[in-house]
Amino acid sequence: MNNENPVVFIQNVSKSYGKQQVLKNVNLEIIPGEIFGLLGPSGAGKTTIVKQLAGLETPTQGENYIFSEKMPRLDLMNRIGYMAQSDALYGELTAKENLDFFASLYGLKGKEKQQRMKDVMEIVSLTEHFDKLVFNYSGGMKRRLSLAISLLHKPGLLILDEPTVGIDPVLRKGIWAAFKDLKDNGTTIIVTTHVMDEAEKCDRLGMIRDGQLIAVGSPEELKQQTSAANIEDAFLAYGGA
């Protein structure tokens, strides 16, 4: 599609926990500046893939390359933003203190840090809850704060594991608009989801079932190839149903 090196290059990756194989020979390239969706039911292996890309897991076989460097690498961590499925937040601290802590981990300081903290809170529309204890946040607010934290250090690659679970449709729309903005500024975004209508908003999709990547392409391509009316039917067609 273009001549740039892929941001993410997954090569023949398999992963087993004991006897249980969760990823089977996955090959995937993700190109700069796209929103790539990993679509599949829970337990399909989406989280295992993104955890490997975030450096938390290593493949049993094969390699993962990010920005043309083999993962895991500590100096790459600064260029990756990761948001896990669980809202990894400190409930006893305020949103501001949470942001301050994570910003410091990424080496942000002084005015720049304060500015970034404000910016990311604006992106997720939480500015008025800046000084509230996270303990008092609703589930959706925590999800958004979690997202804000992953944006703090302006990562070139953003990996989001189920980012919009529990967020109401209006805010979800706003968050997707934010993803588009980030994308326009050159950020590559990987999103896992099992919500089909969200999948439609991605530039390209990878469909996963039982640890195997069964199809990759833009939502339009996938629908055309299977002559399906929507992504859900396309998924079923690829899955052999």
Partner 1 sequence: MRITALVIRILRQIVRDKRTMALLIFAPMLVLTMLHLVFNGDEYRPNIGLVDIPEAIETQLNLEDAIIKHYESANLAESDLTSRELDGYLLFENMAPSIVLEGSDPSVNGSVLRWVQNALKPLQQNLTNKEMEINYLFGSSDMGQFDYFGPVLLGFFVFFFVFLIAGVSFLRERTTGTLERLLTSPLRKWEIVAGYTIGFGVFTMIQATIIAWYAIYVLGMLMEGAFGYVLLITLLLSLSALTLGILLSSFANNELQMIQFIPLVVVPQIFFSGLFNLKTISEWLSWVGPLTPLYYAAEALRNVMVRGFGWDMIYKDLLVLLGFSLLFMILNIAALRRYRKI
Q: Which residues bind partner 1 (CB under 8 A)?
A: 54-56, 58, 72-75, 77-78, 80, 82, 84-90, 92-93, 97, 100-102, 104-107, 133, 149
In the complex with partner 1, the residue whose CB is nearer, 57 or 213, is 57
Nearest to residue 50, comparing CAs of 162, 142, 156, 167?
162
In the complex with partner 1, the residue whose CB is nearer, 61 or 104, is 104
User: Cβ of residue 89: shortest distance to partner 1, in angstroms?
Assistant: 7
User: Cβ of residue 232: shortest distance to partner 1, in angstroms?
Assistant: 30
**Residue 137: C-alpha distances to residues 33, 94, 218 (Å):** 32, 10, 36
User: Cβ of residue 196: shortest distance to partner 1, in angstroms?
Assistant: 26
CA distance 10 to 13: 7
Nearest to residue 39, comparing CAs of 176, 217, 175?
217
In the complex with partner 1, the residue whose CB is nearer, 43 or 107, is 107
Tokens of 185: 């500024």
CA 110 vs. chain centroid, Å, equals 28
User: Cβ of residue 203: shortest distance to partner 1, in angstroms?
Assistant: 24
User: Cβ of residue 98: shortest distance to partner 1, in angstroms?
Assistant: 9
In the complex with partner 1, the residue whose CB is nearer, 1 or 74, is 74
User: Cβ of residue 25: shortest distance to partner 1, in angstroms?
Assistant: 21
In the complex with partner 1, the residue whose CB is nearer, 58 or 115, is 58
CA distance 34 to 201: 11
DSSP 85-143: SS----TTSBHHHHHHHHHHHTT--HHHHHHHHHHHHHHTT-GGGTTSBGGG--HHHHH
Tokens of 100: 């301050």
In the complex with partner 1, the residue whose CB is nearer, 33 or 55, is 55
Are 156 and 186 within 8 A, CB to CB? yes
